[in-house]
Every structure is written in structure tokens, then in C-alpha cells.
Amino acid sequence: MNKMSRGEFLKLGSLSLLGALASDAVLANDTFFSADATAKVDHELMKKLIATNDTSVKLVLQKGLPNTGIRLSNFRPLATTIAILSAAVSHKDSAFYKSEKLVEHLNQTADILLKSQYSDGTLDAGGNRQSPPDTAFVLESICSVATVLNNHKQEQLEGLRNKLKKFIQNAGEAMITGGIHTPNHRWVVCTALANINSLYPDVRYVNRIDQWLAEGIYLNKDGHYAERSGVYSAVIDKALITMAALLNKPELLEIVHKNLITYYYYTEPNGDLVTVDSKRQDQFMNLTATKFYLQYRFMAIKTGNPMFIAMVNRIEKTPDFEQYVLKDSLVSFMENPKLQQQIPADAKWNLDFEQFFTFSNLARIRRGKTSITLFGGNDKPLMIVSGRSSNPNFLMYRKGEAVLKYMRMASSFFRMGYFSSDGIEKVGNKYILRETKEADYYQPLAAEFIKPDGDYQLSESKDRRFWNKMDFENRVASNVKKQTTIIEIEENNGILNLDFKVDGPPNTEITIEMCFKEGTKIEGATLGDKGNYFLKSSIATVSMENDSIQLGPGKAEHQSVNNLDSEEYTYHQGSLRTDGLHVYVTGFTPFHHKMTIS
């Protein structure tokens, strides 16, 4: 593998990449091209970065050093602090340029970091003890700092540079030999190794990178990494961009390019990210596209792709841009001056689209102010663990500020919980979701399996609903009950016509649950117990500011809307119910109901 120095990395920004990275989702003649050598610096953005970084410095100084009497369990904030202070003391336009007070604070902070480092080079991170991958996340900031300090040498910072060098090289030993937990950790560790090698070259770093890269970087046809997670896609994209440059592997940018196209479609007009299909913790979190800002900016400058330019401009207008980008990203812009280049203020790009991600079983539709997400891609069998998709939200609908956070459907059928579709079938402009649930009863054991003391093995029932000392494997299942659910969703210019059909044992309670953003005004539904609304036969209007959504007609045949989750949750008093205003449509099997959302 060819290696590249830090200086060459920065020069890469002015070199054309080898070949064209084609994608069906971009213009046919869209190619990766060299940046204009006369490109202007985005002075407005740089002023904001410097000013916000200076504000962060003031907060750090006001807060003071961490209490050394209490051992830290998370070192990423400490590394971020070092990055913020180092950028300020090194940038000539900062109010803290060459500040002796900052130099002193930096040295004391670096001492805490070094003192906390184990002899094997690792740090702790919460419950992860002596963790190589978590140390790699810390190295991301510390290596950027080392690069900036090397490029803006000040005699008074020599001691700090030596301390950081010691920390980095100690950690490098852990990166060479240490293991990982999750798919994205491999590329975080590789990036740490590439960064360290660019600062202090050692063939062992490159050899370890080769070992991890030999496993291959998974990206499916939808443009998703293995974890299908917004949090970790942003992490991987940043890692691959760095590796592409430092290891002279521009082909890695092909992967980044495809993933960023996917997350363009996963971004709501206000910058929120669709996370419903994630296989990690963010499937139940609210995220924004700010996590991808540096990645989109780098690739927008590198490729000129109008889709990426549009994303950069959109993210810069989001409410959390200052908090999550401006506050601590100055060091990244100093490390890689290519990020400082101006990009067009606007890009001509059709904001309306319909995109069906067949591997994820997720559809994204945009019609003007209306944004729709349909999902039917849970991992089966459904299990509530990290690394598997289990979010029961199958429909999300937005019209400006009016937001249907999710629609779910639950059944009291053997307390098996929410509907979870077995994929999505697309027929014309109709999306079809289906699920079949089965539950069993059990016959007495045959004579050859009987134990007089009744001490049978603790085992799982055949329908996976519960465990008991019943030797289910050797019992005959009988009285098998089956429930089939079909939901047809037809989309016409942002209007959804929904057709629900649930068949199976009669008189089973069916509940359609809709959760709207906090602060929503609801008209046309009846307020019941515990703040729940029931939509009867009428049409409801839900409004936020100047935007509204109409839905209905409804049906309200029962009010059993508590404990809709399966026993996997309710046995432990857990629940998936979220904050917001909840509106219910209820009935009994055989259940057939049509409604419209517009």
C-alpha cells in the first residue's frame, strides 16, 4: 500500500481523482474533477468558525480543568477541548492567538489525558474498559491537533507537541494489536492508524490497516453500510475520506459518494434524518444531518455534485448547525484547508422525488412541503438487541411544521405486539405491507419424553413467545392460531390512501396508533383518558403553526390502548410509547378500514 504524508494529503485537494465515480442517482456526466486552483475561501464561514470557537474557548476557561480527583469515564470531550483550544491558539485571527493562558491550560489538559492512558495505550469509555476503538475516536481529534500544531509551529507549544506525540504513539501500539466490537470500529481504527502513520510513519500501522481492509467494506445496493445507521454512516464516511487521502486510495470515495446520496434522500426538509430502519440505537433517536456536514462539504468541493452542494446549504441553515458544527470544527478546517473553499450558494436540484430502497424495504417520497416515509424492513425474527432493526413505525408523514411522527398498528393477538411487515411490495403507486403471526398450544408429552420429577429443560416455545421448563421441542403443537395483516398504501401527489385488513381469530383488538409532534393542535378527535385522542367516524385536522394534516375517517370500537408492546417489553415494564400527542383508531377482527392522510 502506498502511504501519503500529511502535506500530500492537503495537496490532494487540488489534484484530480483517478477516473469517474459513476452513480445512477447523479447526472450521467457527473465526474470527480480537480478543484479550481484559484477557488475562493469562504471568509464568512471562517469568521463564524473562529468566532464560535473563541466562544467555546471562553466557556472552557470559565469551567476550568476537570476534577482530577474523579476519574473520567469519557475522554472524547477532553479531546474536543484540546482541539478547540489548539485551534484558537494557532489561528492568527483568533482572539486567543498565541495566548499563554491557553498554552498553560492545554499542557495541563494533556497531562490529564496522558495520566489516564493505560500502559497498553488505551483509555476507558463508560463500560468499555481499556477500549481500542474508543481510543481511536479520541485519536481523531488528537491527531488533527498534532497536525495543526505541526503546521503552525510555536516555540511555546513544543512541550504540548511532545506530550501529544507520546500519547499518540502509545495509543498506536493499541491500534496495531487491539480488537473491536462493531463494523464501524474497523474503519475508525484504520483511520487512527492512517493518521498516526502520516505523523510518525511506521510500516506496522500500514500492515494493520491492510489486515482490516482485507475484510472488505460492506455497502449494499441501497447505499447503506452494515449497521444502516445515521450515526455510524457519518463516522464511516469521515473515516473513508481520511483514509482515501492519507493512503492514496481514492477508490474509497466511491463508497462515500454512494452513501451520501442515500442520506440525501433520508434527510427531511428541516434537516432531520430518517432513522427508523437503523440497526443500532439511533432507530429510536432524533438525529439531524449536521453529523454529515464535513463529509458533504468535502465531497461537494471535490465533485461539484449539486446534490451535495444542496445538502451543505441546507445543513448550514439548520438550528443546530452552530452547536454541532461551528462550535468545534475549526481544527478540521485548519487541518484540511480544502474545506475552506467556497461552494455555490445554491444548487439547481429537483427537491421532489420518490425513492424506494428495496434492500431496506423503505420508501421516501417528497412532494413540495409533503414528506413521506414508509418502512417494512425489520429483521426477523424480531429481537430487541443492538444490531437488529426492530422499530415498529411503518409510516411517517410531514407537511411543513405539521408532523405525524409515526403510525403503528398493534394487535392483542396473543400479546405479540406491534405489526412488523415482512418487507414491502411496490405495485404501481401502491406500497403493500404484509405480516402473518402464529401462536400455538401444546399437547402432552409422549411417554418416552416424560420425566417423573417434572424437571424439563428451560426452553423457548415454538412460537418464540416465552420460555419455560416444558420441553417444547418434543411436544406436538396444536390449536394453531394465525393472524394475517395487509396494509395497502397508495400515494398520489402526497395524498395517502390507506387500506387496513386484519383477519384471524375473531374479536381480537386492533389498534392504529398515530403520534404527532408535541404542541400540535388536534381538531375532530375526542380526548379520552391519559391525554389520548380517539378518532371516531369524523375527519381530524392536526395543525402546527400554519401547516395542517387531515386524516380519517376514523373508527373507535374500544379504548384498550395501553401496553401495546409485546411481552418482550411489557414483562419488564418497558414501553416504546414516545412523547407527543397520540391519536387512536380502534376496532376488532375481522378488521377492514380505509382512511386518507393529506
Q: What are the tens digits of pLDDT across the range 323-338?
A: 999 999 999 999 999 9
What pLDDT digit, counting tens, does each position of 158-212 carry?
Answer: 999 999 999 999 999 999 999 999 999 999 999 999 999 999 999 999 999 999 9
Q: What are phi and psi of 397, to 5 degrees?
A: -145, 130
pLDDT of residue 17: 31
Predicted local confidence at residue 548, as pLDDT: 97
Residue 474 belongs to some domain of the structure: no
Per-residue model confidence as pLDDT tens digits over 147-157: 999 999 899 99
170 and 263 share one domain: no
What pLDDT sits at residue 280?
Answer: 93
Verify that 85 and 205 share a domain, yes or no: yes
For 393-416, what is the mean pLDDT?
96
CB 277 within 8 A of CB 376: no
DSSP 411: E
Residue 290 pLDDT exceeds 60: yes
Answer yes or no: do 222 and 205 share one domain.
Answer: no
Q: What is the pLDDT of residue 284?
A: 87
Residue 570 — pLDDT band, cuts 50, 70, 90? low
Residue with cell 409533503: 370
The answer to whether residues 310 and 399 belong to one domain is no
Burial (CB count <10 Å: 0-12, 13-18, 19+), residue 64: exposed
Is 464 within the bounds of a domain? no
User: For residues 13 and 301, what is the distance between their CA atoms, to the nearest angstrom?
Assistant: 9
Number of domains in the chain: 3
Of the residues 169, 195, 216, which one is the last residue of a structural domain?
216
Task: Give the torsion through C-alpha atoms of 135, 136, 141, 145, to 10 deg.
Answer: 90
* Whether the predicted pLDDT of 534 surpasses 60: yes
Half-sphere exposure of 140 (CA within 13 A, CB side): 27
Question: Which of 69-73, 90-94, 280-284, 353-357 is least confident?
Answer: 69-73
- Is the same domain home to 222 and 144? no
* Res. 24: pLDDT tops 90: no
What's the CA angle centered on 184, arms 279 and 195, to 5 degrees?
160
Query: Do the domain assignments include residue 5?
Result: no
For 372, the domain range is: 353-438+483-597
Model pLDDT for residues 241-276, shown as the tens digit of each residue: 999 999 999 999 999 999 999 999 999 999 999 999
User: Buried (b) or exposed (e) across 488-501, using 16+ Cβ within 10 A?
Assistant: bbbbeebebbbebb
Q: What local confidence, expressed as pLDDT, does residue 569 receive?
A: 67
Across-strand partners of 303? none
232 shares its domain with 211: no
Distances, alpha carbon 48 to alpha carbons 64, 85, 315, 329, 352, in Å? 24, 16, 15, 11, 32
Question: Is there a domain that residue 177 lies in?
Answer: yes
How large is the average pLDDT for residues 519-548?
94
Domain end (from 302, 320, 346): 346
* Position 26 pLDDT exceeds 60: no
Last residue of a domain, one of 289, 322, 346: 346
Any idea which of 66-70, 149-153, 177-181, 582-586 has the lowest mean pLDDT? Answer: 66-70
Residue the block writes with cell 375473531: 506
Cell of 278: 437503523
Give, in degrees to the nearest 5, the angle at Cα 561 between 558 and 566: 125
* Residue 26 belongs to some domain of the structure: no
**Strand order from edge to edge, sheet including 424-427:** 424-427, 430-442, 477-492, 495-503, 591-597, 547-552, 540-544, 521-523
- pLDDT mean over 133-140: 97
Of the pLDDT bands very low, low, confident and very high (cuts 50, 70, 90), residue 566 is: confident
User: Does some domain include residue 445?
Assistant: no
pLDDT band at residue 573 using 50, 70 and 90 as cut-offs:
low
- Prediction pTM value: 0.90
Backbone phi, psi, residue 276, to 5°:
-60, -30
Three cell numbers at 153? 509551529
Closest residue by Cα to residue 218 from 182, 191, 244, 243 = 182
Give the mean pLDDT of 54-83: 93
To the nearest whole number, what is the mean pLDDT of the chain? 91
pLDDT at 564: 85
Cell 489516564, residue? 116
Q: pLDDT tens digits for 536-565?
A: 988 999 999 999 999 999 999 999 998 887
Gyration radius of the chain's alpha carbons: 27
Q: Is 595 helix (H, G, I), strand (E, B) or coil?
A: strand
480 vs 318: CA distance, rounded Å: 52
CB–CB of 389/379 below 8 Å? yes
Q: Is position 361 within any domain?
A: yes
144 three-state secondary structure? helix
335 with 380, same domain: the answer is: no
- Classify strands 395-399 and 402-411 as parallel, antiparallel or unpaired: antiparallel
Say yes or no: 211 and 82 in one domain: yes
Does residue 14 surpass a pLDDT of 50?
A: no
**Residue 20 scores a pLDDT above 60:** no
Instruction: Using DSSP, state whether 477 is helix, strand or coil.
Output: strand
Residues 488 and 379 in one domain: yes
Top-confidence range, 28-42, 268-282, 378-392 = 268-282
Strands 424-427 and 417-418: unpaired
Q: Is residue 62 part of a domain?
A: yes
Does 92 have pLDDT greater than 70?
yes
- In this structure, the answer to whether residues 288 and 330 fall within a common structural domain is yes
Asked if residue 66 and residue 104 are part of one domain, the reply reads: yes
Whether pLDDT at 513 is above 50: yes
- What would the pLDDT profile of 436-478 be if each residue is shown by its tens digit? 999 999 999 999 999 999 999 999 998 888 899 999 999 999 9
Residues 269 and 386 reside in one and the same domain = no
Mean pLDDT, rounded, for 346-374: 91
Kindly tell me the sign of the dihedral angle through the C-alpha atoms of 256, 261, 266, 268: positive
Q: Helix axis angle, 132-151 relative to 183-199, nearest 10°?
A: 30
Tell me how far apart the terminal alpha carbons of the chain are, to the nearest angstrom.
55
- Structure confidence by residue, pLDDT tens digits, 490-502: 999 999 999 999 9
Whether the per-residue pLDDT at 348 is higher than 80: the answer is no
C-alpha cell at 227: 449497521
Q: How many residues are given for the chain?
A: 598
The arithmetic mean of pLDDT across residues 522-539, rounded, is 92
Q: How far apart are CA 359 and CA 216, in angstroms?
A: 19
